[in-house]
């Protein structure tokens, strides 16, 4: 029995080591660096150790049903015709540059789309940040918006994607340019129009809402999160394309330094309420 236990521990440690990327330690923070992964962020970024952090697990027992505003996406139905697409090492980011005013009205305020980025993995090793009733989905897309004239006030729309054998054509314009941003700090331009309908389920205004933080360092508070209830789809082959990306520069690239599973582990709820839009 003891021998079996030792073998299991060795196998576990071997598997854990394969998930580490030592080259990521050269950066201020990372997901897979042995010395600067999410469990160590609070050492250099004190806000990461504060009480109301993101992401979280959403459980029915913590949800309060309320009649909140339904989300409306003004201008989001206009395809993005010009954008920079970047490999930032921790994510793929799309920054629209076509001068279309895409915004979300919220009460008397307006929240303007700033950027879109992706947390991803595979069907068997998923990469979404928020967990829904024990389920971590394959991908989570963040639509980051800021309050008009107050860029420090952030709304994040989180769209969860489950892995399927069917491909989602909404990802095609992004998949198309991934070969040009294989390594950290690579950037390119969008080559085909990006229709957000395939990435953001605009027909659904239903969501879970809670107050949290930025889910990456410096983990500053004051972020308002809207996790969409409807779950989208992303193809397994499309996830494989994302998984070809590296979190490091070309000189440091290795299979252990792929960008996938770029999520922060779920944080304690700490008596926060999760509001349901209906």
Query: Which residue, chain included where needed, has tokens 């990461």?
Result: 48
pLDDT tens-digit readout, 22-34: 999 999 999 999 9
Distance CA 122, CA 138 (A): 5
Q: In whole angstroms, what is the distance from residue 13 CA to residue 36 CA?
A: 18
pLDDT for residue 151: 86
CA atoms within 13 A on the CB side of 213: 25
Cα(257)–Cα(211) distance, rounded to whole angstroms? 32
Tell me the backbone φ, ψ of residue 249, rounded to 5 degrees.
-70, 170
Count other C-beta atoms under 10 Å from residue 146's C-beta.
18
Residues composing the chain: 278
Output the pTM of the full model: 0.92
The Cα–Cα gap between 252 and 258 comes to 11
Strand partners, 106: 109
Q: Using 70 as the pLDDT threshold, list the residues of the chain that sit under it.
A: 1-18, 202-204
In this prediction, residue 7 carries a pLDDT of: 37
Burial of 29 (0-12, 13-18, 19+ CB in 10 A): buried
| pLDDT of res. 202 | 61
Spell out the alpha helix ranges (H) of 213-260. Answer: 236-242
The pLDDT value given to residue 220: 97
Look at the block and give the residue holding tokens 């879970």: 208
């Amino acid at each position: 029995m003891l021998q079996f236990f030792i073998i299991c521990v060795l196998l576990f440690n071997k598997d854990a080591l394969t998930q580490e990327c030592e080259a990521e330690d050269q950066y201020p923070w990372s997901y897979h660096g042995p010395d600067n992964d999410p469990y160590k962020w609070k050492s250099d970024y004190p806000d990461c150790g504060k009480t109301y952090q993101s992401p979280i697990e959403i459980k029915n027992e913590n949800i309060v049903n309320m009649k909140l505003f339904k989300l409306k996406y003004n201008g989001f139905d206009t395809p993005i015709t010009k954008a920079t697409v970047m490999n930032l090492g921790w994510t793929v980011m799309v920054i629209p540059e076509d001068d279309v005013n895409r915004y979300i009205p919220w009460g008397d305020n307006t929240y303007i789309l700033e950027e879109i980025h992706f947390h991803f993995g595979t069907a068997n090793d998923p990469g979404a940040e928020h967990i829904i009733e024990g389920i971590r989905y394959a991908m989570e897309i963040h639509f980051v918006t800021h309050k008009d004239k107050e860029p420090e006030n952030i709304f994040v729309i989180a769209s969860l994607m489950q892995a399927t054998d069917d491909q989602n054509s909404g990802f095609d314009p992004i998949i198309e340019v991934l070969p040009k941003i294989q390594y950290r700090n690579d950037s390119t331009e969008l080559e085909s129009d990006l229709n957000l309908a395939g990435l953001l389920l605009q027909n659904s205004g239903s969501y879970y809402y809670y107050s949290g933080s930025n889910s990456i360092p410096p983990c500053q508070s004051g972020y308002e999160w809207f996790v969409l209830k409807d779950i989208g789809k992303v193809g397994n082959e499309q996830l494989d394309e994302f998984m070809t990306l590296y979190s490091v520069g070309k000189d440091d690239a290795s299979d252990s330094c792929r960008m996938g599973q770029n999520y922060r582990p779920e944080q304690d709820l700490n008596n926060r309420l999760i509001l349901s839009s209906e």
